[in-house]
Structure 1
Amino acid sequence: MEKFFLKFLGFFLILAGVCFIFFSLYLSFKVFFGKENPPLIFKETIREKKEEKTISQKNLDPEKILQIQSQAALKEALSEILPEEKVNKFLNLSVFSLFIFILIFASSQMVAMGLKLINLNAEKWRG
């Protein structure tokens, strides 16, 4: 009875592992060909366009005014080079790829454990 249970458990682990591998490949296929978007872990933040603050030159010294203007120019240049939605999409794809990698690795370990159980059962049967 124990041999049957170990053999059954081994085949079950192999079947479950192979199913998980095909499922993860199917998810990757759908995301790769654009039929489905990757899960949104990093969501886009909707920024309201704030009215630019008027800088009164009476209260601020010229260095402070220049610093504020240079920061605004730097923010604008960075947003043109790396738009926020592109960064979020890249991060979401990276997290999805990491999840698929972990799922495939865990599934391969399940298959390996199932094979070991079947081989262990076969060795017990012989000896």
Structure 2
Amino acid sequence: MNSQVQIFEIGEYNNDCRIGRWNYIYKDVKMNLFFKLFSGGGYYNKNGEKQGKWIQLDEGFYYGKQVTNQGEYNMNGMKVGRWDIIYYNGDDKEYKQMEMHINKQWKWIVQSNRKWEKDWKVGRIV
């Protein structure tokens, strides 16, 4: 994590388990300001497992590199289906989208022009 930003997860615990809706907010340490991140976070079931739609912060998130992973967890707390990786550079006001499909094999698609198949890059970057 960048030293200029602190990330906080806000939610409820029950018997040392996260339950219900959890949200992310971040604080710009340099300016001492709190910001709510989009509608980040998601829902924990009564067993403390992630469930339903989630927007998660990527490791290394900070104001100049706002990367989120957006997708869905099944009833067993496992990632399923399509997961979008959204990049937003706070200064450029530019969004870039990549996606990952979760099943027996991983496939990466970068701006729909490049993907990973069995650890090999396929396609081209434009």
Task: Give the TM-score normalised by the residue count of structure 2.
Answer: 0.19
Task: Give the TM-score normalised by the residue count of structure 1.
Answer: 0.19
Task: Kindly indicate whether structure 1 or structure 2 has the higher relative contact order, using CA contacts under 8 Å at least 6 residues apart.
Answer: 1
Structure number with greater Rg is 1
More strand by share: 2
More helix by share: 1
